[in-house]
Structure 1
Amino acid sequence: MFYIMKEWLMDMVAAMRIAVEVARLGSFTAGSRELRLSAPSVSRIMAELEADLGVRLFNRTTRQLNLTDAGLDFVEKSSGILEQLDNMRSVVRERHDTPRGQLRVSCVTAFGNECLAPALPEFLQRFPQLGISLDVGNRLVDLIEEHYDVAIRVGPLSDSSMIAQKISTQRIIFVASPEFCRRFGMPKSLDEIRSYPSVSQVSGEWGRTHQFRHLGEIIDFEVLQHFAMNSAQAVKNACLTGYGYSLLPDFLITDDIAENRLVQLLPNYGPVEQPIYAFYAQRRHTPQKIRVFIDYLTEVFGS
């Protein structure tokens, strides 16, 4: 009897994981690919689960897959149960084991490309039983709904369910190419630079306004969007052509300034530092893989 119950529980947990992934990805095929199962196996397990529960969980058409009301309730409760099981397993393993598993990380584009990606190989060498899936982009992800472990963003978020750990800062600097400076001269004030063509990074609400310190005051500078993009690297590449000035994070342009490909403008206007945070969901027991990752980010970028 014990073995029958154990087998049923293991089958149910596996079915719950499949249902959650299928619901998250919106198709049996994508769910099977994510879980490394065959599509027929996923379809069969979901059919057996529905038969066992006596309800339909998914409405299937040739073009889309939607949760029924019962399916939505089942997936929500399953997500909570699976998280509790994962936490319990992590707590037990951590007493005798090294960090292991897969970390899903979302990171803003510029910091992800320039800073985080080059730092991750060292982290993986320290913790060879961990793997990382890095999603680089400026889209604001939902950590819980989309099953991310950590999100790295510029500036604080107002979500009380998240824990924010400051890992670094960035300073947004006025820059232009030497050719631009020869054509337009060196601006002396914010009012003057507003009359020049610009290449700006705007992503959602971010990048529309930046703050600077000048003569003891903090001044808001509203970015003019003559030529706007959502990628800092793309903005830098356009700025290098000499078309216009740009506002770019310091870590992206240090080498360009040192090698005279770009020139800092308005050095008397000190940029207000913008904090860079690592966010993760509040849990009763934070998984060890998240703890060691946050510690590593603080070690590498905190200085």
Structure 2
Amino acid sequence: MDRIDAMRAFVSVVIEGSFSNAATTLQLSPQLVSKYVSKLEERLAVRLLNRTTRKVSLTEAGTHYFQHAQQILLSIDEMDSQLGGLQQHPTGTLRISAPVSFALKHMGKLVTEFQSHYPFVNVDLQLNDRKVDIVDEGYDVALRIGRLKSSSLIAKQVAPIRLILCASPDYLEKHGTPEKPEDLKNHRYLHYSYTEMDTKDEIYQWLRVKNTQRSSEFQSNNGDVLVDCAIAGAGIALQPTFIASEAINSGKLIEVLPQFATGSVGLYVVYAHRKLLPHKIRCFIDFINGYYGTPPYWDKVVT
């Protein structure tokens, strides 16, 4: 027996004056209402109502129970109403973890527009390129870029991410332009620390070799730094177009080996649970889905 349902049946009988009237109000059968009240009395081991063929009346114990039960039900209904309001108008703080370079270049406008749609949601955006533990570190969602491996987390792709090899015109003029992936062994590779080179892609195979050799190479855990180094002529970098597209469009960088493109990875929004998702999280997931376009605006050809 559900204690709240039984309590609600009892209170309704008292207010409505009969089992049949209470049944009509609760949209239940009189038999079920009577069963709820009887089971409640059995559980409490006390009679709450005196029943006659013409009316019901409260016992002394029933009077005390009715007063407390009515307050409890009012509190429950008020709480349900408040939670329903949260679903209609999301509130609270939304904690987001996002990659540093992507957030710096492409999340300021998104967050501003999201909060203009949902003004009662505060956003706490933390930038970190490592894969945070969403649950242990208290994040609502995380944005991740790559080819995600299976896990207990829920991941939804919200945009494709294209990776390119690129170098400055001066560097290529001085060291030559690679014509095939194996030519990369003769070039200086600017390595991104968090790159996972576990694919069978031919370019990745040669970059893995370069990374293993570590001979006069440069590495960083930040893509913007690597792109700046590539612009300065330090070597060849493998970077996403959301970082490198501006330099490519301006001629500061040239795409290398485009015919051997490594393909796309994805920008994913990752969260812990699918069921009973807080409304603030659902609203953010729906808002970011498709926000950047297909293809994303940073990949559109500049004319």
TM-score normalised per structure 1:
0.63
Cα shift at 1:153:
0.9
Q: 1:191 to 1:90 in 2, by over 3 A?
A: farther
Alignment length, in residue pairs?
209
SS in 2 for 1:233: helix
Q: Aligned to 2:232, which of 215, 233, 241?
A: 241
Name the CA distance, whole Å, in 1 between partners of 2:207 and 2:179: 17
Q: Higher Cα Rg: structure 1 or 2?
A: 2
Q: Whole-Å Cα distance in 2 between the matches of residues 164 and 89 of structure 1?
A: 31
| Greater mean deviation of Cα atoms: 292-301 or 116-125 | 116-125
Residue 300 of structure 1 is matched in structure 2 by: 291
* Structure 1 position 174 matched with structure 2 position 165: yes
2:119 to 128, 131, 150: 128
Verify: 1:190 aligned to 2:175, yes or no.
no
**Shift of residue 201, structure 1, vs aligned partner:** 0.7
For the Cα contact (< 8 Å) 2:189–2:207, is it kept in 1? no
Cα deviation, 1:227-246, whole Å, max 9, x if unaligned, reads 11111011111111101111
Deviations 1:79-128 (A, max 9, x none): xxxxxxxx978843245x41211110001223222222332111111111
Query: C-alpha offsets along residues 109-162 of structure 1, whole Å, 9 cap, x if unaligned?
Result: 2322222233211111111111111111112211111110001112324322x2
Secondary structure of residue in 2 paired with 1:299: coil
Structure 1 stretches of 5 or more lacking a match?
1-86
1:87-236 alignment runs, 5 A limit:
91-94=83-86, 97-154=88-145, 155-160=147-152, 162-203=153-194, 206-208=195-197, 212=201, 220-223=205-208, 224-225=210-211, 226-236=217-227
For structure 1, which segment, 260-269 or 149-158, has the greater mean C-alpha deviation from structure 2 after superposition?
A: 149-158
| Residues 92, 121 of structure 2: 8 Å contact kept | yes
Cα distance in 2 for residues equivalent to 1:119 and 1:221: 37
In 2, Cα distance between equivalents of 1:219 and 1:258: 25
* Preserved contact between residue 144 and residue 267 of structure 2 (Cα < 8 Å): yes
- Structure 2: distance between partners of 1:242 and 1:167: 33
How much has 1:264 moved relative to structure 2?
0.6
Quick one: distance in 1 between partners of 2:187 and 2:81?
59
Shift of 1:298: 0.6
Deviation digits for residues 172-209 of structure 1, max 9, x if unmatched?
10100111011012110111122111211122xx3445
Measured after TM superposition, the shift of residue 299 of structure 1 is: 2.7
Q: Which residue of 2 aligns with 1:263?
A: 254
- Does the 8 Å CA contact 1:176/1:262 hold for their aligned counterparts? yes
Find the counterpart in structure 2 of residue 70 from structure 1.
none
Conserved 8 A contact 1:180-1:242? yes
Aligned counterpart, 1:75? none
Aligned to 1:278: 269
**Which amino acid counterpart does residue 158 of structure 1 have in structure 2?**
S
Give how far 1:290 is off: 0.4
| Amino acid across the alignment from 2:130 | R
Partner of 2:279: 288
CA distance in 1: counterparts of 2:228 and 2:200, whole angstroms: 24
TM-score when normalising by structure 2: 0.63
CA displacement at 1:293 relative to structure 2:
0.3
**Contact 1:173 / 1:264 at 8 angstroms: preserved in 2?**
yes
Distance 1:88 1:293, change over 3 A: farther
**Does the Cα contact within 8 Å between 2:159 and 2:290 map onto a contact in 1?**
no
Runs of at least 5 residues in structure 2 that lack an aligned partner in the other structure: 1-78, 212-216, 295-303
% identical equivalent positions:
26
CA RMSD across the alignment: 2.4
1:74-93 equivalences in 2 (<5 Å): 91-93=83-85
8 Å contact from structure 2 (residues 159, 266) kept in 1? yes
Indicate how the Cα distance of structure 1 residues 209 and 247 shifts in structure 2: closer, same or farther if over 3 A, else same: farther
2:109 aligned counterpart, secondary structure = helix
